[in-house]
């Protein structure tokens, strides 16, 4: 399995690689700035070279940049829409500089303008972006709270189909899927979810998974991550994920809580579920 975690770039972006090695990860994810501000790092050639060299030595691949949480391409507010596009463009450019393969973002919330209008706004914004060669922009599924978009696979399908299939794809988060009402622990319902995903987005258009348990009940529409096997999805749900023939070979990134348990324990526990 190719499993890693979201790690810190504190002290220099190349530090992410050693942190990933320490927890036993073979792929990974980082922020290119503070996730709750509009700030995006601008990396020098030396910083990029150090990051690439460390990755090459460790064999960690692929890597993902997770966009700031402030980005909202679905908003009807032109000022926020413009700032969101500008921020996401900087993150895409940072990915190109660092040789990072993917940038993932939450599509956003329509805040009352309507779901169709929100999806159209997202599509228009992505068309305005210049996605660098060798970087893929990933739409992430959402828990569905309020007016957020991306809970339904059909919405993700439309976003991906009406932008550019060569430059965009989809990331599926297990906590978000659970919150949206997909029962990953029930084998039959999990199979139905994968079949629905394949018939809409297409399994081939899901290059990366986010693995997180959930603190909240099925269908809660709440995005609160928990340690693998310690939440409402439980071991059986993750056993279904890591052993499914359509998913088992995809890179999987942990975003579980950062506390005393740590990523290494989560990764070890996840691997124990592989049959």
In this structure, what CATH number is given to the domain that contains residue 261?
A: 3.20.20.150
pTM of the model: 0.97
Residue 251 lies in a domain: yes
6 part of a folded domain: no
pLDDT for 59 beyond 80: yes
pLDDT tens digits, 206-232:
999 999 999 999 999 999 999 999 999
Q: Is residue 56 part of a domain?
A: no
Q: Is the pLDDT of residue 164 over 80?
A: no
Please check whether residue 101 lies inside any domain of the structure.
yes
Give the per-residue pLDDT at 243: 98
Cβ density class 105-135: b for 16+ within 10 Å, e for less: bbbbbbbebeeeebbbbbbebbeebebbeeb
Tally of domains within the chain: 1
Residue 51 lies in a domain: no
> Per the domain annotation, does 52 fall within a domain?
no
3-class secondary structure, 24: coil
| pLDDT surpasses 80 at 192 | yes
3-state SS class at 20: helix
User: Which range of residues forms the domain containing residue 160?
Assistant: 25-45+62-271
Note the pLDDT tens digit of each residue in 24-55: 999 999 999 989 899 999 999 999 999 999 99
Instruction: Using the structure block, give the residue that is written with the tokens 């189909």.
Output: 161
């Amino acid at each position: 399995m190719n499993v890693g975690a979201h790690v810190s770039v504190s002290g220099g972006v190349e530090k992410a690689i050693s942190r990933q090695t320490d927890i036993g990860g073979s792929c990974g994810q980082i922020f290119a700035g503070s996730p709750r501000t509009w700030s995006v790092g601008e990396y020098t050639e030396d910083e990029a070279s150090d990051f690439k060299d460390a990755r090459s030595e460790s064999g960690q691949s692929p890597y993902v940049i997770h966009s700031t949480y402030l980005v909202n391409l679905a908003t009807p507010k032109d000022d926020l829409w413009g700032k969101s596009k500008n921020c996401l463009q900087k993150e895409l450019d940072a990915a190109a500089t660092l040789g990072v393969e993917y940038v993932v973002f939450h599509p956003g919330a329509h805040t009352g303008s309507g779901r169709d209008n929100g999806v159209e706004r997202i599509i228009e914004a992505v068309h305005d972006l210049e996605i660098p060669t060798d970087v893929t922009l990933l739409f992430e599924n959402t828990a569905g709270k309020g007016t957020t978009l991306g809970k339904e696979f059909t919405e993700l399908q439309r976003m991906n189909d009406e932008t550019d299939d060569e430059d965009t794809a989809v990331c599926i988060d297990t906590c978000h899927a659970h919150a949206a009402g997909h029962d990953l622990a029930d084998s039959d319902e999990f199979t139905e979810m994968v079949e629905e995903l394949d018939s809409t987005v297409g399994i081939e258009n899901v290059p990366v998974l986010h693995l997180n348990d959930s603190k909240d009940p099925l269908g809660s529409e709440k995005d609160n991550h928990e340690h693998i096997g310690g939440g409402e999805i439980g071991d059986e749900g993750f056993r279904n994920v890591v052993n499914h023939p359509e998913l088992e070979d995809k890179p999987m990134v942990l975003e579980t809580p950062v506390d005393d348990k740590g990523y290494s324990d989560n990764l070890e526990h996840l691997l124990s579920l592989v049959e």
